[in-house]
């Protein structure tokens, strides 16, 4: 593990040092000063309250690249379960508890070096004031808020890295179907009406889960199935009259 007191972004550091990083290296920053998620959204990670790290994957199997972020999201859910917290998965790679975001995964590919960097941001000991200090696009929570007590950051980090290693090893052995099957157990969107924003267009329909390549499947009110490699998706909560 490569440990830093502070980095602007663990993903950015890993991507700029791929020439010296080894497969499986974990880059961990105690404090991340300019953390970001998908679409360059901010990610809050103050000292001893937010866990931020990145995993370096060198020469991944090509068919695995689209689902590596989802594999790591599964590892985060399994970590939460180890601490008695029930997590769910929101495509493409967010982790929720009770409908509130507790963690996210940012997968970035360097095609020239045939490498993927998988960044994880997990809200461990953030309190309500911490979360209120930043404007997020989704309700948020933390392990501390869910458990009602602070957690030892080292324990969470060590558990998370073990779960990531275990999940990626199993994915390498069993292939993409393993990730898709596991994802379905915790899918927060499947079976619900959703709204997907993609390429400045908006699509609505019922989420059918993921297809065999990790794409989101949505069936619209005309019975047409649409698949998405990327996009922003939200559940549409039904209202009763």
pLDDT surpasses 60 at 43: no
Handedness of CA 212, 101, 38, 12 (dihedral sign): negative
User: For 86-122, how does the pLDDT look when each residue is reduced to its tens digit (9 = 90+)?
Assistant: 999 999 999 999 999 999 999 999 999 999 999 999 9
- What pLDDT is stored for residue 120 in this prediction? 95
DSSP structure string for 16-48: HTTTT--TT-EEEEEEESS-B-GGG-B----TT
What is the pLDDT at residue 239?
Answer: 52
The mean pLDDT of 134-158, rounded to a whole number, is: 90
pLDDT tens for 75-87 read 999 999 999 999 9
pLDDT band of residue 41 (cuts 50, 70, 90) is low
**Mean pLDDT of the 18-36 span:** 87
**Which has more confidence, 105 or 47?**
105
Q: Residues 194, 204: contact at Cβ < 8 Å?
A: yes
What is the model's pLDDT at position 119? 95
Mean pLDDT of the chain: 91
Between residues 135 and 156, the one the model is more confident about:
156
Average pLDDT value for residue range 60-75: 95
The tokens 């009770």 sit on which residue?
98
- List domains and CATH numbers for the chain: 2-185 (3.30.930.10), 193-235 (2.30.30.100)
Residue 29 Cα distances to 24, 55, 185, 217, 241, angstroms: 16, 12, 31, 36, 50
Question: In this predicted structure, what is the pLDDT of residue 240?
Answer: 47
């Amino acid at each position: 593990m490569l440990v830093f007191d502070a980095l602007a972004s663990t993903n950015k550091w890993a991507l700029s040092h791929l020439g010296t990083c080894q497969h499986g290296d974990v880059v961990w920053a105690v404090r991340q000063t300019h953390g970001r998620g998908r679409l360059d959204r901010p990610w809050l990670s103050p000292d001893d309250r937010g866990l931020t790290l990145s995993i370096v994957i060198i020469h991944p199997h090509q068919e695995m690249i689209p689902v590596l972020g989802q594999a790591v999201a599964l590892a985060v859910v399994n970590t939460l379960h180890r601490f008695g917290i029930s997590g769910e998965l929101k495509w493409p790679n967010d982790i929720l508890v009770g409908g509130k975001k507790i963690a996210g995964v940012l997968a970035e590919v360097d095609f020239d070096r045939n490498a993927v960097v998988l960044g994880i941001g997990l809200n461990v000991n953030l309190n309500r004031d911490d979360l209120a200090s930043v404007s997020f696009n989704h309700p948020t929570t933390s392990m501390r808020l869910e458990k009602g007590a602070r957690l030892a950051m080292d324990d969470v980090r060590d558990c998370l890295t073990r779960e990531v290693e275990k999940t990626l090893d199993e994915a390498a052995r069993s292939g993409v179907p393993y990730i898709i099957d596991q994802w379905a157990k915790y899918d927060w969107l499947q079976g619900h009406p959703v709204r997907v924003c993609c390429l400045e267009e908006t699509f609505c329909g019922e989420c059918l889960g993921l297809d065999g390549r990790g794409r989101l499947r949505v069936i619209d009110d005309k019975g047409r199935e649409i698949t998405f490699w990327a996009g922003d998706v939200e559940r549409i909560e039904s209202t009763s009259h």
